[in-house]
């Protein structure tokens, strides 16, 4: 597959540009009944995200392309099928190449919505 299925990309679930840590990416989210969230992003150009941290754990899997996670001054290169766990409170940032798609699961509310 070259893209996420259309049924996953409802405009009601789109992550606003104001809540993105990376410019010019497209993301969508879903919220569980416990307040945890799942989000997925598509990167259409080579980009670098802002440094940030979350007050909850994060799990990430690379679906296509390549995403480099930087945390604790160490780089972790994720290729399709690779996954990583990012503990809460960890300063992180990353780099994606054009065509990268990732899925993230957060142990809390990452997207506030509008």
**What's the rounded Cα separation, in Å, for the pair 32 and 11?**
18
Q: Where are the domains of the chain?
A: 6-106
Q: What are the pLDDT digits (tens) for 10-53?
A: 999 999 988 888 888 999 999 999 999 999 999 999 999 999 99
- Residue 17 is given by DSSP the state G
pLDDT of residue 102: 98
Q: Which residue has the higher pLDDT, 112 or 76?
A: 76
Give, in words, the CATH class of 6-106. Answer: mainly beta
72: which 2 tokens? 């604790």
| Residues 99-106, mean pLDDT to the nearest whole number | 97
pTM above 0.85, yes or no: yes
Distance CA 92, CA 56 (A): 13
pLDDT tens-place string over residues 65-74: 999 999 998 9
Question: For residue range 12-22, what is the model confidence (pLDDT) as tens digits?
Answer: 999 998 888 88
Distance of CA 9 to the CA centre of its chain: 15
Q: What is the pLDDT of residue 114?
A: 54
> Residue 64 forms beta bridges with which residues?
101
Check if the beta carbon of residue 92 is closer than 8 Å to that of residue 50.
no
On whether the CB atoms of residues 99 and 65 are closer than 8 A, the answer is yes
């Amino acid at each position: 597959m070259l893209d996420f299925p259309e049924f996953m990309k409802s405009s009601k679930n789109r992550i606003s540009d104001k809540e993105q840590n990376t410019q010019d990416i497209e993301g969508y989210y879903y919220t569980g009944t416990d307040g945890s969230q799942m989000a997925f992003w598509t990167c259409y150009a080579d980009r670098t995200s802002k440094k940030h941290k979350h007050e909850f754990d994060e799990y990430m899997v690379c679906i296509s392309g390549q995403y480099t996670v930087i945390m604790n001054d160490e780089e972790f290169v994720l290729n399709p099928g690779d996954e990583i766990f990012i503990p809460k409170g960890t300063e992180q940032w990353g780099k994606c190449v054009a065509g990268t798609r990732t899925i993230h699961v957060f142990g809390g509310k990452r997207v506030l919505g509008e």
